[in-house]
């Protein structure tokens, strides 16, 4: 019998162990689950593996890729869509293949985005606690009709389009900023506009573009300045799209009326861990939590049964294709 392909699966919480072990019954890989993130100090854990499987907050920088290469690891399999945490230049330079899961459920992320909007607007999280405490007063819970409002969508790819369809169902006016025009979205009534127009006219701005050099801190002081007073900003894409200092300033001055985040600039040090018994050292994050009009979830937008199953299946298919079929379907390198 030929040797089993061994994969070190970094950042393995229980849900990863459960979903990947279940889908692996079809693939029969040797899985080495490591609870720690992959970064320079933990790269050695991949010793003896053919591939590493990593997630959004693993730090696959140039040094890590060199170390993996020295250990004879052949493949980096991302179990997510974004690849901003991998040094693609270094992987290219030394010939290390990097694959990803380009789509697993745009519905999961788009629906979570909608959930943040509805919760911030109608304050479900506050109402839930009030009613449980026997407080049935309505003061402080006043919301607004989403129907008729203008929604600015930055990045109308798979998730952005799914979100646009939902918001169009609410009877909203949709403005899109993307490099590419999309006829299906135009047919729904959405308008492609400049970034400035989107900032000036939107009641709610939702980010669905990838994190790149161009989009890093795109929501900064200048951008916020151009927005409507009391704007709602939602980020379910990547934390570094937003300059946290700038949004804190915008919240303090009441320019930003609502902020919904599923991702955060410095989330690597916080998200996916139970830190409830520790002292959070990130003062900006703690400050954000003090605003009554900020709602943060810890990178859970993707987290549905359907998405998790698709993630495990595509990740293993990518690894099977590379080692068994000798082909690469979802390479990040050639994109
Ligand atoms: P996608 O590639 O289908 O769409 C991205 C869109 O952004 C494309 O239409 C592209 O043209 C556009 N774009 C690229 N650069 C842009 C720029 N500078 N300005 C405006 N638009 C730009 O990707 P997707 O599947 O829709 O995912 C979008 C993002 O959502 C991912 O990059 C990822 O960061 C994030 N994401 C988050 C979660 C989560 O759990 N919170 C899960 C999956 C994906």
The reported pLDDT for the residue numbered 293 is: 98
The reported pLDDT for the residue numbered 327 is: 94
Query: What is the SS3 string spanning the chain?
Result: CCCCCEEEECCCCHHHHHHHHHHHHHHCCEEEECCCCCCCCCHHHHCCCCEEEECCCCCECHHHHHHHHHCCCCEEEECCCCCCCECHHHHHHHCCEEECCCCCCHHHHHHHHHHHHHHHHHCHHHHHHHHHCCCCCCCCCCCCCCCCCEEEEECCCHHHHHHHHHHHHCCCEEEEECCCCCHHHHHCCCEECCHHHHHHHCCEEEECCCCCCCCCCCECHHHHHHCCCCEEEEECCCHHHECHHHHHHHHHCCCEEEEEECCCCCHHHCCCCCCCCCCCCCHHHHHHHHCCCEEECCCCCCCCHHHHHHHHHHHHHHHHHHHHHCCCCCECCCC
Structure tokens at 235: 């980020």
The reported pLDDT for the residue numbered 335 is: 60
The finding on whether 192 has its CB within 6 A of some atom of ligand 1 is: no
Q: Which residues participate in catalysis according to the annotation?
A: 238, 267, 299
Residue located nearest, by CA, to atom 15 of ligand 1: 209
- Give the Cα separation of 218 and 206 in Å (integer): 12
- Give the Cα separation of 196 and 260 in Å (integer): 21
The reported pLDDT for the residue numbered 263 is: 98
Burial class (CB in 10 A: 0-12, 13-18, 19+), 34: middle
Determine the distance from the C-alpha atom of residue 240 to the mean position of all C-alpha atoms in its chain, rounded to a whole number.
11
Question: Model pTM?
Answer: 0.94
Q: How many CA atoms lie within 13 A of 192 on its CB side?
A: 13
Which numbered atom of ligand 1 lies nearest the CA of 106? 25
Residue located nearest, by CA, to atom 42 of ligand 1: 302
Structure tokens at 24: 């692996």
- Give the Cα separation of 304 and 54 in Å (integer): 19
How far is ligand 1, taken at its centre, from the CA of residue 276, in Å?
Answer: 31
- Give the Cα separation of 199 and 22 in Å (integer): 45
- Give the Cα separation of 297 and 270 in Å (integer): 12
Which numbered atom of ligand 1 lies nearest the CA of 303? 40
- Give the Cα separation of 38 and 9 in Å (integer): 9
How many angstroms separate the first and last alpha carbons of the chain? 36
Structure tokens at 171: 């009877």
* Number of residues in the chain: 335
Residue located nearest, by CA, to atom 30 of ligand 1: 237
The finding on whether 206 has its CB within 6 A of some atom of ligand 1 is: no
Q: Taking a C-beta distance cutoff of 8 angstroms, is the pair 319, 77 a contact?
A: yes
How far is ligand 1, taken at its centre, from the CA of residue 208, in Å?
Answer: 5
Which domains, from first to last, does the chain contain?
Answer: 6-104+304-325 (3.40.50.720), 106-296 (3.40.50.720)
pLDDT in single tens digits along all 335 residues of the chain? 467 999 999 999 999 999 999 999 999 999 999 999 999 999 999 999 999 999 999 999 999 999 999 999 999 999 999 999 999 999 999 999 999 999 999 999 999 999 999 999 999 999 999 999 999 999 999 999 999 999 999 999 999 999 999 999 999 999 999 999 999 999 999 999 999 999 999 999 999 999 999 999 999 999 999 999 999 999 999 999 999 999 999 999 999 999 999 999 999 999 999 999 999 999 999 999 999 999 999 999 999 999 999 999 999 999 999 999 999 989 997 66
Determine the distance from the C-alpha atom of residue 155 to the mean position of all C-alpha atoms in its chain, rounded to a whole number.
13
């Amino acid at each position: 019998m030929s040797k089993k392909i061994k994969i070190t699966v970094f950042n393995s919480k229980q849900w990863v162990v459960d979903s990947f072990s279940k889908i692996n019954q079809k693939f029969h890989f040797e899985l080495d689950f490591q609870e720690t993130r992959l970064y320079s100090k933990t790269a050695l854990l991949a010793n003896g593996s053919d591939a590493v499987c990593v997630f959004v907050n693993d730090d696959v920088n140039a040094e890590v890729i060199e170390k993996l290469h020295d250990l004879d690891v052949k493949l980096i399999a991302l179990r997510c869509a974004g690849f901003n945490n991998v040094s693609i230049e270094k992987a290219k330079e030394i010939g290390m293949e990097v694959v990803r899961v380009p789509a697993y459920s745009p519905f999961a992320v788009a629906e979570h985005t909608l959930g943040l909007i509805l919760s911030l607007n109608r304050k479900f999280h506050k109402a839930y606690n009030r009613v449980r405490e026997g407080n049935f007063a309505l003061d402080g819970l006043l919301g607004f009709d989403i129907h008729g409002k203008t929604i600015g969508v930055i990045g109308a790819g798979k998730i952005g389009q799914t979100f646009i369809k939902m918001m169009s169902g609410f009877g909203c006016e949709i403005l899109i900023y993307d490099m590419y025009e999309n006829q299906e979205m135009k047919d729904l009534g959405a308008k492609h506009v400049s970034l400035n127009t989107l900032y000036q006219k939107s009641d709610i701005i939702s980010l669905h573009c990838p994190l790149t050099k161009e989009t890093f801190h795109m929501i900064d002081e200048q951008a916020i300045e151009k927005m409507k007073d009391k704007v709602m900003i939602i980020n379910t894409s990547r934390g570094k799209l937003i300059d946290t200092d700038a949004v804190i300033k915008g919240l303090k001055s009441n320019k930003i009326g609502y902020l919904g985040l599923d991702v955060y600039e410095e989330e690597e040090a916080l998200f996916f861990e139970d830190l409830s018994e520790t002292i959070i050292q990130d003062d900006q994050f703690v400050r954000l939590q003090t605003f009554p009009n900020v709602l943060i979830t810890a990178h859970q937008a993707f987290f549905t049964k359907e998405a998790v199953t698709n993630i495990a299946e595509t990740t293993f298919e990518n690894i099977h294709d590379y080692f068994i079929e000798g082909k690469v379907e979802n390479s990040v390198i050639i994109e």
